[in-house]
Structure 1
Amino acid sequence: MLRILTIRLQIAPKPHLMAMKKDQPLFCGNIEPQERTFKSTASTPSFHTRILPTIKHDHQELVYHSQKIFTSTNPDEQTRYQNQFTWELARHLIGEELVVYPAIIASLSDGQEAADRNRMEHQGIKEKLKIFQDLASTDPRFVPTLRGLMDDFGIHARHEEDVELPRLESMLSKDESVEMTKSLDRTKVFVPSRSHPHSPVKPPFESVAGLITAPIDSVADLFRKWPDGKKG
């Protein structure tokens, strides 16, 4: 069943995050949690979790899915987790760019520099993800491409977890941090689920490009295989 999402985009001077209204998330609409969720020994954070543990959990999901690929010798299973990994990583990257990085810019003294560096790192990851998502699991480049991607992603994720996100958290109240998590979760519902490295990477153009691309990805997802044994 298709739901019509009402999206409110505002063009205004960048406010400090502390001054943003808590009842005005970035995206508004009747949005339910995604059905294709992470299942592993790691606990799933609730909708009311602060942003740092939420991002850490995203990173753990991606490591989990990559390990399922590395340890499997079944091409069909590898394809299923390839789709899951791509779906998770593509949405994670764009979600950060739309929700977390603007907050970093607004809250940290070197926020613009930090956001620009992270966007540049994202670009490299997106380019490798684009290659990986299009490879057959039987291709000899399949596993090496994922290993190279995870090497880059691991460096990026550790810096976020150890440096920038703790600094951002220190500037936020608990309520503000939880609201950011909610906004991130809402945003992930309708951003692209595949890598499009040539799309714009800075607001407001990245959000517009994402809204155009996401429905195409969602339709294609219906015909892909997933780890739950069903098609999308």
Structure 2
Amino acid sequence: MLTTRFMKQSLRGSLYKAAPSTMAIPRRQFAATAVHNTNISEIITSDHRDLEDAYNHIKNAADAEERGKWQNQFTWALARHSLGEELVVYPSMEKHLSNGTQMADHDRMEHQVVKELLYKFQGLEPNDPEFIPVLDNLWGNLAQHIKEEEGKDLPELEKSLDEGESRQMASSFQRTKQFVPTRSHPNAPNKPPFETVAGLMAAPMDKIKDLFRSFPETKDQATK
């Protein structure tokens, strides 16, 4: 009896240990940027280049399956990046710059347009006739926002920060992205603290659904 019970417990334990390997957690790809000694402008600019890379992969995809993987990658990256800026960068602009409130409000308005387009894009099938037109419209708005941010907003913000503050903000930005939703939720608040609460509520469900989505896998890219 004891032997039988021991065998059952051992078998049950081995099954429990083996279970996690039956579901491979999808790896989101992009060249990792080391946060150490990296300022906020560098970390955000790196994200921008990653988004451009994902956009180009979608446009040049060989088939619908590949387009779908990069669609998920683009959505995952842009949703997290946008919320990271709204929770970390824009409040800092409001705090440190004389015209920071106006700049942050302008950027939030641009984000709202992008979020609404991303929400539509993330729900499209890769072979949908609207897929590429919606993507191009989304990228057109995002590219203009990126140009303004890199050309004006970030340089002004960096001037108001010392090196330590900028690096600390970069670390906070990267940490924040680990806890925010990975899909677009355009009806959610876009300012803390309400945005923080809404994000914490939506993020778990987004991340569970990500387990069942396909993402690109490449050897020359590392997870963020």
Give the distance between the partners of 1:141 and 1:155, measured in 2 at CA.
Answer: 21
Answering whether residue 138 of structure 2 is matched by residue 149 of structure 1, we say: yes
What TM-score do the two structures reach when normalised by structure 1? Answer: 0.81
Change (3 A) 1:176 1:127: same
The one of 134, 140, 153 aligned to 2:129: 140
Q: Return 5+ residue gaps in structure 2 as ranges.
A: 1-25, 219-224
Query: Which residue does the alignment assign to 1:52?
Result: 41
Give the distance between the partners of 1:187 and 1:63, measured in 2 at CA.
Answer: 21
Give the distance between the partners of 1:145 and 1:96, measured in 2 at CA.
Answer: 23
Identity score, percent: 47
Query: Which residue does the alignment assign to 1:160?
Result: 149
CA deviations over 1:133-172 (Å, ceiling 9, x no partner): 0000000100110000000000000100010100100111
Q: Return 5+ residue gaps in structure 1 as ranges.
A: 1-33
Give 1:46's aligned amino acid: A
Answering whether residue 195 of structure 2 is matched by residue 206 of structure 1, we say: yes
What TM-score do the two structures reach when normalised by structure 2? Answer: 0.83
Query: Are the equivalent residues in 1 in contact too, given 2:116–2:184 (CA < 8 A)?
Result: yes
Query: Which residue does the alignment assign to 1:13?
Result: none
The one of 75, 86, 92 aligned to 1:97: 86
- Structure 1 position 193, deviation (Å): 0.1
- Judging by fraction of residues, say which structure has more helix: 2
Aligned residues: 192
Instruction: Give the 3-state SS of the residue equivalent to 2:143 in structure 1.
Output: helix
Give the distance between the partners of 2:29 and 2:212, measured in 1 at CA.
Answer: 18
Higher radius of gyration, 1 or 2: 2
Give the distance between the partners of 1:84 and 1:69, measured in 2 at CA.
Answer: 10
Give 1:38's aligned amino acid: F
Structure ranking higher on relative contact order (CA contacts 8 Å, 6+ apart): 2
85-94 or 68-77: which moved more?
A: 68-77
- Structure 1 position 35, deviation (Å): 5.6
| Runs of 4+ displaced beyond 6 Å | none
Give the distance between the partners of 2:69 and 2:136, measured in 1 at CA.
Answer: 17
Give the distance between the partners of 2:27 and 2:111, measured in 1 at CA.
Answer: 26
Query: Which residue does the alignment assign to 1:118?
Result: 107
Cα RMSD after superposing both structures: 1.3
